[in-house]
Amino acid sequence: MRKPIIGVTPDFNPGTRMDMGGKEPTYFLRARYLQAIQETGGVPIVLPLVRGEGHHRLLLKQLDGLLVTGSGWDLDPNLYGERKQFPFQQMSEERAQLELGLSRLAFSLKVPTFGICGGMQSMNVALGGTLIQDIPSQIQTRLQHSPKKSATKMAHVIRIEAKSWLSRIAKKKTIPVNSSHHQSVKAIPPLFRITATTSDGVVEAFEADSHPFWLGVQWHPEFLYRKHSIQKGLFSAFIRAARRYRSQMEN
Ligand code: MN
């Protein structure tokens, strides 16, 4: 059987930024996301930013799994029914529409989906969830969710819920993770379940019991998987689910 094909959402500069291509519309993506998929048995494909449900359906049909990546920039709060309350950079509409559209479809079509950091937030908003717009302004915490140190270093501990994908992979109730986010999941859609949090109540992971593999994590396993077996295990479990999905579609 051939290796499962994993669609990976890229970041995009529509030509309005100073960096990443400047005025020339440019896709960009940290190599780590693709490397982690390759090193755990999948074939990553960087997705084109197409619009509309028909195009999203066609794309998803080619895939055995979907990796929704993180971004330095945030979703427009209008997408979850809020006004923007704090100054932050917004991700391109092109990228937001792709991530929201694909996440919605992947949820209903039960395509294995793994969301990292901002990708987890897109999965949440896609199905009707909301976000904390700025953790330092909205949550009292002593934890550092956005420390200045490298994302290869652990930043805080998370507590993992029993009977979850995460607990099966980690086989522990608490693990240290890195952290590089100023936003987080606030309200989740009815079919989601929060499966990891920090002591300040910040949501660090969710899953959906009705879905074969629907995992969002607020940290960045792509910076950790080469040295930390639990973090590698997240990618391996995702690839296994994609392989199962593929064999079901073939039968
Ligand atoms: Mn965090």
Cα(110) to centroid(ligand 1), Å:
27
Residue 187's domain spans which residues? Answer: 5-250
Residue 17's pLDDT is 87
Q: Give the domain CATH number at 203.
A: 3.40.50.880
Return the pLDDT at 140.
Answer: 94
Rounded Cα gap, residues 116 and 208, in angstroms = 15
Residue 66 has pLDDT above 80, yes or no: yes
Closest CA to 225 of 83, 32, 14: 32
CA of 197 to the centre of ligand 1 (A): 9
Tokens of 19: 């960096």
CA distances from 36 to 220, 224, 229 (A): 11, 10, 12
Q: What pLDDT does residue 251 have? A: 77
Q: Which two tokens stand for residue 218?
A: 């607020």
Residue 2 CA, ligand 1 centroid: distance in Å: 36
Query: Separation of 77 CA from ligand 1 center, angstroms?
Result: 20
Please name the residue that has the structure tokens 């009977």.
Answer: 163
Burial of 53 (0-12, 13-18, 19+ CB in 10 A): exposed
pTM tops 0.85? yes
Sign of CA dihedral 241, 242, 245, 246: negative
Q: Is the pLDDT of residue 142 over 90?
A: yes
* Cα 158 to middle of ligand 1, angstroms: 8
pLDDT in tens, 144-188: 999 999 999 999 999 999 999 999 999 999 999 999 999 999 999
Q: Is the pLDDT of residue 60 over 80?
A: yes
Q: Are strands 43-46 and 5-8 parallel, antiparallel or unpaired?
A: parallel
Share of the chain above pLDDT 90, in %: 95
**DSSP H or E run through 98:** helix 93-108
92-124 per-position pLDDT tens digit: 999 999 999 999 999 999 999 999 999 999 999
- Number of domains forming the structure of the chain: 1
Distance 212 CA to ligand 1 centre (A): 25
